[in-house]
Structure 1
Amino acid sequence: MAHDAETSVVKFKNQDFRTLRDHCLSRGQLFIDDTFPAAASSIGEKLLRGKHLSKLEWKRPTSKDLPFYPPHFILEGASRFDIHQGIAGDCWFLAALGSLTQNPQCLQKILMDQSYSHQYAGIFQFRFWQCGQWVEVVIDDQLPVIGDNFLFVHPRGGNKEFWPCLMEKAYAKLLGSYSQLHYGYLPDALVDLTGGVVTIINLHSSPFDLLTTVKTAIQAGSMVACATENGLTEEAKVMENGLVSQHAYTVTGAEKIQYQGRWEDIIRLWNPWGKTEWKGRWKDGSKEWRETHDPRKSQLYENKEDGEFWMSCQDFQENFSCLFICNQIPITMDHGVTPNESWRQMRFTNQVISRNRAGGHGRDMQYVFSVQEHTAGNNVVVAFTIMPQSLNTEEERFPLQFQVFKVPQVCLTDVFIDFSHL
């Protein structure tokens, strides 16, 4: 499942970055992307509806009338703190991206070597994993602004790094518009940024050691994220405890810390919104941090309004339902987080069984496969990546659910998968 970023690369909309860049450089022009124009169509109806955007303009970060001049693509390394969410509800993508910044090697494969100072021609490229292959997306660097404020992801504070803004635009182009980023599925973003597989852990029913799981996963370079459940409305809202409903967070660490003569498990999260943080135990400035005498306090804790905060593992499990861990190969929970070294990949294409043995919707699909290798125990790890048959970005995307069954009448090791729309 490890995917080399240099192989199987598809040019989205048949645009070749080097050809376009060299053409612009030779003529002293800045690239203008007609396939994703600086127009309302690129923002999309969902985000335009009800908004007063009469003063909306598209500007390049090199515009001297913006407060972020001169811009940088990356300055002193890419960090989750470079990201600040705008009006699009794309926390699901930004939380995944925030996690990816903790694995610089994987991040560099999709950011590549780009700059605002070397061979700048107003054109940038990014790579995403789609339909079993890497897709290279080319964009110009015109971004929607109102006055001095960027409409979508924007540099944080005095930061002048634009890689998150440009990467968000590239992902919006891949999906069809910025509106297609407005509320999505966190596992989709984790896969699209890595080509890996996602393990979903139910925090309420799965018997596992949360602290060990998170620490081991992060140390192994896995992406770890979570999301709060839906609130009373369809919009993300700040709750009394400081968490945001219907919102994705990056999990950035977990530790045991000494407090009042005992050890307490705590977990660290980052919010793409920036300053909105947890208000309960172990929050920034809490009595727990003031009173702890743990010698690692100065290494673990800074009281900053940067969207990152600690909370107890108990509070975390009470307020979040699922943990998402994305790795290049599937993982098991038998001993913390361990790779499944006997992983074998299969691909099913257009193999739909029309007669649905399980009942239900006519669109359900079933596939049969065999587990041929001998396993030490009775458990088999099965991970799925659902790939559409084309990169048609105009269609609505629906989450799928699946179940795996053993089929005794075929043989004891044969199972089939039942996919159905939620």
Structure 2
Amino acid sequence: MPYIDDVFPADKSSLCYDPDGTVPEFVASVTSWKRPSQWTRTPSLFVDSTNPGDVEQGQLGDCWWLSALTVVSVIPDVLQRLFVEANEAEGRYTVRFYYQHEWKTVTIDDRIPCGKDGLPAFGHNTLKNEIWVCILEKALAKLLGSYEALDGGYLEEGVVMLTGGRPERLYVNNWSQNPGKQPWRKDRLWDKLVQYSTENVLMGTGISSSRGQTTDESKGLVAGHAYAILDVRETSDKKFKLIKLRNPWGQFEWKGPWSDASRNWTFQYRKEMGADTKDDGIFWMEFKDFCTYYDKITCCRLLNDSIFSFPMESKLKANLKNNLTFPYANWNRKRVEGAWDNECAGGMMNNMAFAKNPHFRLTVQKSGRFFLIIYRPYLSQDADAQYYRSGIGFAVYKGTDSNYKILPTDNSPNALLQYPVYARYNSIELDLDQGEYVITPCTMYSNRKGEFRFEVFSPNTFDIQPLEDNLRVGLCSSRGSRPTDDAPKMNSSITIGKNMISTSQQPLARSGKNLNTTPQPTKQPGSNMMTTYQFEFAQRNKF
């Protein structure tokens, strides 16, 4: 007998928050709920393996989620491990998602909202008889309360929920140009993307928009929209750096150089890159054009507590790519927790109350790569407005036994500030030398309460512990004033380990829905606030 989920019924209450009030426009596109056997004779959860061309967007504005599915689809192992149970005969599926910083399961039936043509109205597979996109979309809608909860979101959150990985956000323009009038260094961003691609870090991108989702017909690009990054490659003759992307619409592609029909494609290049002329939402761009139009990149590492810690449902028999390796999965991890309250919410480094923040002492026993991330408890969609008024970040201060009790000011040459952002996660990868560091989680403004978790990952040995000593802010300069002659001079960049950091700040925009966020404060005159949005990586030592 077909399974029926009474908790998430096949009616309008599952489509939107208030079915008796004003409903979103996408609700009108649903005329019925059907099981896959009602629109295809041979429904199957997976048909062979999964690939980016499987995913297509429907009438719901959940490009952030569908782009996350596209990004993850290159690793079929991940998608299949999401299914705890797949009873296709009864139409019952149990799926796991990484939600509120832990793995949670949700069980649904296979009744899918459909349109007038009798096919799925929202996200769906390209093949009519393949249904994993519909099932995962419905499972997430149930977890979050309704399909309306999916109407607008953030690519990084979608990838995290699918993988249990940890996100990092790179801002394209801040890698490309230096406010200190230094030469453009897009090559460093390119090297970083190539490295991440080699290490199977999942990546997506987007074009910010303050007016919601807008299309540019002449260029074939969509602002306020999420794209998947599928490949990062240089031609064999070293003449061109190319990026392969996909629009979750399954159509509407880039029309400039290196687009499907571009004359840039010679027979050799097309064969080498595997490029074709299908109108499937997949296209190539030259890296310099990518930097012109796209402004942020979402990266997600699969670490030791990711989806790979779970076995695969034995009934699923897709063609797996078991030759992939994930070096971050072997990294050591340590986590500390804390909170900002009335006594310890001191704001950023340019605030004299900065010393009131919680502090942790990081002991690096061997120089090498470190991934640092701060995040806060997951909030429901309707709490976003309140949440995003409280940007979160952290400072990293290189200390010694004699001076670590003096915290950095905004002019310190030994400090790095991961500038607070209005997001649930804020992270960075650094090269750190052997020694001791003070880690100070902070909010953008003082007196902003909230809990946080801070994690450190590295292939090397390290330790992090709460720092209970009484700390004070160094007196080398007052906030917003010019440093004294004895204070460190203001520089356009600083160095910690092998990392050179310059100053900048950038807002975060949502994909698929217009979200007006409070603008971040501008840098005060005379301040040398050390942020990492313009993070420039020097060449790393191989280890």
SS at match of 2:264: helix
Q: SS of the residue aligned with 1:249?
A: strand
- Quick one: distance in 2 between partners of 1:112 and 1:249? 28
- Whole-Å separation in 2 of the counterparts to 1:286 and 1:129: 41
Residue aligning to 1:267: 243
Among residues 197, 200, 203, which one is paired with 2:169 in the alignment? 200
In the alignment, structure 1 residue 358 sits paired with structure 2 residue 347: yes
1:14-68: CA deviations, max 9, x gaps? xxxxxxxxxxxxxxx21111211111121115993346739721111112xx2x3
Q: Which amino acid aligns with 2:300?
A: C
Is 1:57 matched with 2:40? no
Tell me what 1:38 maps to: 10
Q: Is the 8 A contact 1:230 1:246 kept in 2?
A: yes
The CA distance in 2 between the partners of 1:340 and 1:104, in whole Å, is: 17
Indicate the SS of the match to 2:337: coil
- Rounded Cα–Cα distance in structure 1 between residues aligned with 2:41 and 2:331: 51
- SS of corresponding position for 1:253: strand
From 439, 451, 456, the equivalent of 1:415 is 439
Specify the code of the residue in structure 1 equivalent to 2:57: Q
Gaps of 5+ in 1: 1-28, 331-336
What's 2:259 paired with? 283
Q: 2:335 aligns with which of 346, 351, 358?
A: 346
Aligned positions, number: 368
**Structure 2 length as normaliser, TM-score?**
0.61
State how far apart, in whole Å, the 2-side matches of 1:314 and 1:295 are: 18
CA spacing shift, 1:129–1:109, aligned 2, 3 Å: same
| CA distance in 2 between partners of 1:306 and 1:54 (Å) | 23
The structure 1 residue matched to 2:72, chosen from 100, 104, 108, is 100
Which residue among 229, 239, 245 is the counterpart of 1:251? 229
Q: CA deviation at 1:367?
A: 3.4
State the Cα deviation string for residues 248-279 of structure 1 (Å, max 9, x = none). 011001222268xx611111001100111001
Q: 1:71 aligns with which of 43, 59, 64?
A: 43
Partners of 1:278 and 1:188 in 2: CA distance: 26
In 1, Cα distance between equivalents of 2:273 and 2:68:
24
Name the CA distance, whole Å, in 2 between partners of 1:239 and 1:401.
Answer: 35
Query: In the aligned structure 1, how far is the partner of 2:357 from the partner of 2:9?
Result: 41
Equivalent residue number for residue 376 of structure 1: 367
1:315 CA drift (Å): 0.4
Q: 2: distance between equivalents of 1:217 and 1:124? A: 33
Equivalent position of 1:143 in the other structure? 112
Residue of 78, 87, 90 corresponding to 1:121:
90
Contact preservation (8 Å) 1:266, 1:313: yes
Q: Is the 8 A contact 1:176 1:393 kept in 2?
A: no
The aligned amino acid for 1:204 is N
CA contact (8 A) 1:74 1:115 kept: no
The match for 2:279 among 285, 305, 309 is 305
Q: C-alpha offsets along residues 121-178 of structure 1, whole Å, 9 cap, x if unaligned?
A: 121121110223211111111111122232211232x542000011001111111111
Larger Rg over CA atoms: 2
Distance 2:30 2:365 in 1: 65
Q: Secondary structure at the match of 1:70?
A: coil
Identity score, percent = 26
Aligned to 2:395: 405
Give CA deviations for 1:361-405 in whole Å, capped at 9, x if unaligned. Answer: xxxx9432210223537x8642123333xx867644744632322
SS in 1 for 2:374: coil
Structure 2 SS opposite 1:218:
helix
Between the aligned partners of 1:166 and 1:54, the Cα distance in structure 2 is 18
Change (3 A) 1:269 1:344: same
With over 3 angstroms needed to count, the CA separation of the structure-2 counterparts of 1:410 and 1:174, relative to structure 1, is farther
Q: Which runs of 5+ in 2 are unaligned?
A: 176-184, 305-325, 398-403, 408-435, 449-517, 519-543
Q: Hey, which of these two has a bigger chunk of strand by percent?
A: 2
Q: Give the 3-state SS of the residue equivalent to 1:306 in structure 2.
A: coil
1:111 alignment partner AA = F
| Conserved? CA contact 1:73–1:115, under 8 Å | no
Would you say the 8 A contact 2:270–2:276 is kept in 1? no
Whether the aligned pair in 2 keeps the contact of 1:258 and 1:293 (CA below 8 Å) is: no
Letter in 1 for 2:440: F
CA RMSD for the aligned pairs? 3.1
Q: How far apart are residue 101 of structure 1 and its match?
A: 1.2
The separation in 1 between residues aligned to 2:154 and 2:330, in whole angstroms, is: 28
Equivalent residues of 1:131, 1:387 under 8 A apart = yes
Aligned-partner Cα distance in 2 for 1:77–1:340: 23
Residue equivalent to 1:222: 201
Residue type at the aligned position of 2:133: P
The residue number in structure 1 matching 2:156 is: 187
Does the 8 Å CA contact 1:242/1:279 hold for their aligned counterparts? yes
C-alpha distance in 2 between matches for 1:107 and 1:55:
27
Q: Distance in 1 between matches of 2:125 and 2:68?
A: 18
- Separation in 2 of the partners of 1:52 and 1:295? 45
| CA 1:341–1:205: 2 relative to 1, 3 Å | farther
Distance (Å, rounded) in 1 between the aligned partners of 2:222 and 2:115: 26
Query: How far 1:282 moved relative to its partner?
Result: 0.2
Deviates more, 1:164-173 or 1:106-115: 106-115
Deviation at 1:112, TM superposition (A): 4.9
Which amino acid letter does the alignment assign opposite residue 246 of structure 1?
Answer: G
Q: Secondary structure at the match of 2:333?
A: coil
Q: Which segment drifts farther, 275-284 or 146-155?
A: 146-155
